[in-house]
Structure 1
Amino acid sequence: MLAASLVRKIITQFASVQNLGYYKPTTVVIAMAPRRIDHVASKPEMWKHLKARVEAKRLKVEMGKVREDQECLRVEQRNLIARFGEIERQYDELKQEAEMIAKQSALTRIKLGLMLGILIAREGGHLVQAANLTRFLGCVSANLSYDLIQVIIL
Structure 2
Amino acid sequence: MNTLSRHKSPLALPFSKPRCRISLKNHLQRGKAKKLRKRMKRLRSEMDEISVEQGKIREGQRQVREKYEAVEMECELLRKETNMIMRQSMSTQIRLAFMFQILKARENQDFDQAAQLTSALRELIATENQQKT
* Fold agreement, TM-score > 0.5: yes
**In structure 2, C-alpha distance between the alignment counterparts of 1:74 and 1:94, rounded to whole Å:** 30
- Residue ranges of structure 1 left out of the alignment (5+ in a row): 1-38
Paired AA for residue 41 in structure 2: K
Task: Provide runs of 4+ in structure 1 moved above 3 Å.
Answer: none
More helix by share: 2
- Residue ranges of structure 2 left out of the alignment (5+ in a row): 1-22
**In structure 2, C-alpha distance between the alignment counterparts of 1:69 and 1:83, rounded to whole Å:** 21
- Normalised to the residue count of structure 1, the TM-score between the two structures is 0.66
Q: How far apart are residue 142 of structure 1 and its match?
A: 1.6
Paired AA for residue 94 in structure 1: L
**In structure 1, C-alpha distance between the alignment counterparts of 2:28 and 2:130, rounded to whole Å:** 93
**In structure 2, C-alpha distance between the alignment counterparts of 1:109 and 1:143, rounded to whole Å:** 16
**How many residues are paired up?**
110
* Map of 1:97 onto structure 2: 81
Q: How far apart are residue 121 of structure 1 and its match?
A: 0.3
122, 128, 131: which one aligns with 1:138: 122
Residue 111 of structure 1 aligns to a residue whose secondary structure is: helix
Q: How far apart are residue 141 of structure 1 and its match?
A: 1.3
CA-based RMSD of the aligned residues comes to: 1.7
Paired AA for residue 39 in structure 2: E
**In structure 2, C-alpha distance between the alignment counterparts of 1:98 and 1:146, rounded to whole Å:** 21
Q: How far apart are residue 104 of structure 1 and its match?
A: 0.6
Q: Which has the larger radius of gyration?
A: 1
109, 114, 121: which one aligns with 2:98: 114
- Normalised to the residue count of structure 2, the TM-score between the two structures is 0.76
Identity %: 32
* Map of 2:12 onto structure 1: none
112, 121, 127: which one aligns with 2:111: 127
Q: List aligned pairs for 1:1-154, cutoff 5 A.
A: 43-147=27-131, 149-150=132-133
Q: How far apart are residue 113 of structure 1 and its match?
A: 0.5
